[in-house]
A and B are shown apart, each in its own frame.
Chain A
Amino acid sequence: MNSLKKILLGEQGLLVIFAGAFVVVSIFVPNFLTERNMLGLLQSVVTIGIVSCTMMFCLASRDFDLSVGSTVAFSGMIAVMVSNASGSIPFGLLAALLCGGAVGLVNGVVIAKLRINALITTLATMQIVRGFALIASDGRAVGINDPSFYQLALSRIFTIPTPIWIMILLFIVFGFILNRTVFGKNTLAIGGNPEASRLAGVNVDRMRIWIFTLQGMVCAVAGILLASRITSGQPNAATGLELSVISACVLGGVSLAGGRAAMTGVIVGVLIMGIAENVMNLLNIQAFYQYVVRGFILLIAVLLDNLRSSAAGRGRA
């Protein structure tokens, strides 16, 4: 019993749970372990997965970002509208990245410089940006003129769809940033103790602004891929995304109190969210029930986080 507890609450606990769940689901759910379903599953978590990369940094530095869903929708909308208007897809993508980055920059500046609580700030920008998306499109979906925009999501490299590659690439890049760069270590230090980090020479304000700006740009990447997949800019796309993303991060062992994060954990968290939804679809469980299950997953994630930190808090001499 004790050793089981140790494994489940230890560093690799989540991997163990994940592997166990994967095996069980593979055996008992028909059509789960097929190439087609696996790719579908990965496709379905692309948005959550991409945004989780930077949400991890945000949470690790003791901040919070509720505006990601709106930013994804808004920047997807910008990508489509600017591409249509200018006739140039690269131009549209660039505009989307800039707009996403701008939203993040505003979040970061307000939070770091004006010292307004991140929860409140991003709650506000979440609504403002969603409003922008609705205003820009007059509340309707905006179709894509140039069909090659679809290719962003439809194209495949070595039989695997491009968005999945992009997600994997971002996992690698942000995993590297977290573990192997000064930026990553400073992020964790800020989350561990912001004032001590500042006195140790970390430019805390600048770090926070950068983290939010990156978050905005990464949301734009997710927004572009989402718009391409659903073949239009949808002002109501990605509602509730912030909660799925935060759930995935927390499930992946990122501490809401800051200072603790791991890319592998977040990846597993994202996959667990994806598998839960995928399995419910395969088992023809009504969509309404999926909300309930997602809520429970989040609760369990927070509970695990709590148990883990109290387990880590022990052992002091």
Chain B
Amino acid sequence: MAFLEFRNISKGYPGVQALSGISFSVEKGAVHGLMGENGAGKSTLIRILSGDQSADTGSILIDDGEQNYRSVRDAFHAGVIVIHQELQLVPELSVAENLWLGRFPGKAGVIDGRTLVETVRTKLEEIGIDIDPTAKVSSLSLGTRQMVEIAKAVMLEARVIALDEPTSSLSSRESEILFSLIERLKAKGTVILYVSHRLDEIFRLCDSLTVLRDGKLAAHHPKIAGTTREQIIAEMVGREISNIWGWRERPLGDMRLEVKNLSGPKLRNPVSFSVRRGEILGFFGLIGAGRSEMARLLYGADHRHQGSVSIDGVAVSANNPKAAITAGMVLCPEDRKFDGIIQGRSIEENIAISSRRHFSPFGILNPKKEASVAEQFIARLRVRTPSRRQDVINLSGGNQQKVILGRWLSEQGIKVLVIDEPTRGIDVGAKSEIYEILYGLAADGLAIIVILSELPEVMGISDRIMVMCQGRIAAEVARTDFDERRILAAALPDRNAAGTI
């Protein structure tokens, strides 16, 4: 029988209908997957469930009781807890203190320390999490912190727990521990709403699945058994994606970018490499291998200790992003939110920020031209937005990525594109759109450096791969020699150095 039910939920924001008429239900003790591209409405639905926002129409029923909570606190009391990607723990307090935060046990403001720790210890044992309740949260790994969040939900006697992309920052071992915890909660009858982009996790954990697309219910599978990956992807994007990489052979031209002995404060060992016209050079490595540091150094975002960078034989001066842009090199940074988009400003301004110097004589703007440039790239890159005047912060991750790409494609004479994790946090459909954009640019003669962390992806779209490990280039592999094991082996630190990471 249905325990959690969404009935005809709709929610609109100025200019966007985020959700329209969503209805589905989840059985007691089920793990229910919620999938959809970015911007499909998952976050909005989760926010409504968490009490953070209220629906325009429709209602949520728990155990056949209609809920009309108006705040996150009300949702707590109704037994609904949402665990977001950004964890809500106080780092300087202990695990036990975090779990009791807001309602410490004790008398007259004096905390009963023993009850505090012991209740938490019992609870943690009960759900099978091995954490010391007196440990400071800041001393725990990200994965363990996530467990603490879930333990908190259990302490609050949550009947419904929603997890938003819980494994995005976890190692595979940590993910395993999370999965077994989810299994145990399920056995206790808790309803788990599991939001993820990762299909293998969905297939492994979930009993049932709902797919959203453009704010509407695209599909509801009361039993996940019998569905296929292809079917779900098709439901998410509304079309079949036959070859998700879409790589095809391109002719390579002359040498475009040459990097010799480049080093800086965060990249101690000098790196050298070169990229041809029309070539996509993938950089693969573990997190912390020095790839982003290399990219920032190349672009002049960080201080260069030594080395030279030249484009078409002309040296690019160090430590000055503006000079790099004038020389024809642009960077789409890894952290879109902090280094990429200008929050609070419109899409139009975010696109035109650099290229407007070409059509603003004496620094005086040309609003018509600016608008037409923005419209042109919104259309060409298929940025999904009601208007070019929309604040860029309102866009989904994929669309923000496209805006930053638009910023650089609207520049003149771009020769080298450095793009760091272009598809992180982006759904399947937008991913292939971004690949296609990269192939198109390569075909136009650009040299492209793309930094990626997922092996199938880097192998899927690169012409050549540089593997980095602990700040060094560990291997260089041509497409004909691509081999998953060999690349991964090069990315892993060797045994002697393993202790130092």
Residue numbers of A with Cβ under 8 A of B are 179-183, 185-186, 188-189, 191-193, 195-203, 255, 259-260, 312, 314-317
Contact = CB atoms under 8 A, between A and B. Distances in A.
B338 to A, nearest CB: 6
A196 B338 contact: yes
B76 interface: no
Contact of B344 (A186, A198, A203, A260): A260
Given A189-B342, A317-B44, 4 more contacts: A181-B363, A193-B341, A195-B339, A315-B13
B299 interface: yes
A198 B301 contact: yes
Nearest to A257: B344
B411 to A, nearest CB: 9
Nearest to B299: A199
21 contacts: A180-B365, A182-B364, A185-B353, A185-B365, A188-B345, A193-B341, A193-B343, A197-B353, A198-B301, A199-B333, A201-B322, A202-B354, A259-B342, A259-B343, A312-B391, A314-B13, A315-B14, A315-B394, A316-B394, A317-B16, A317-B41
Leading 9 A-B pairs by shortest Cβ distance: A259-B344, A192-B342, A201-B325, A182-B363, A315-B13, A192-B344, A201-B354, A201-B322, A193-B342
Contacts of B349: 185, 188-189
Nearest to B301: A199
B340 interface: yes
Given A189-B342, A193-B341, A199-B339, A183 B396 contact: no
B356 A185 contact: yes
Given A182-B365, A201-B322, A317-B16, A192 B345 contact: yes
Contact of B339 (A196, A201, A314): A196
B43 interface: yes
A203 B320 CA distance: 9
A316 B345 contact: no
A317 B365 contact: no
B321 A201 contact: yes
Interface in B21-41: 39, 41
Taking chain A's interface residues, is the majority helix, strand, or loop, or is none over half, making it mixed?
helix
A196 B13 contact: no
B272 to A, nearest CB: 24
Contacts of B205: none
Given A201-B325, A259-B344, A315-B394, A195 B353 contact: no
Given A192-B343, A198-B301, A203-B322, A181 B44 contact: no
B342 A197 contact: yes
Contacts of B39: 317
B343 A317 contact: no
B301 A182 contact: no
Most buried by B among A179, A186, A193, A196: A196
Nearest to B395: A317
A315 B363 CA distance: 34
Contacts of B18: 317
Most buried by A among B16, B39, B301, B322: B322
B338 A193 contact: yes
B13 A182 contact: no
A200 B325 CA distance: 8
A182 B345 contact: no
Nearest to A181: B363
Interface string B112-153: 000000000000000000000000000000000000000000
Interface string B1-22: 0000000000001101010000
B188 to A, nearest CB: 34
B356 A316 contact: no
B345 A259 contact: yes
Given A180-B364, A182-B363, A195 B338 contact: yes
Nearest to A190: B342
Interface in B283-330: 299, 301, 321-322, 325
B394 A196 contact: no
Contacts of A191: 344
B256 interface: no
B217 to A, nearest CB: 17
B197 interface: no
Interface in B138-178: none
Most buried by B among A182, A183, A314, A316: A316
Given A200-B354, A201-B325, A182 B360 contact: yes
Nearest to A197: B342
Nearest to B336: A196
A218 B177 CA distance: 63
A17 B214 CA distance: 40
A175 to B, nearest CB: 13
Contacts of B356: 182, 185
A183 B354 CA distance: 12
B75 interface: no
B357 interface: yes
Contacts of A183: 363
B331 interface: yes
B382 to A, nearest CB: 17
B393 interface: yes
A200 B39 CA distance: 26
Nearest to A179: B365
Interface string B388-427: 0001011010000000000100000000000000000000
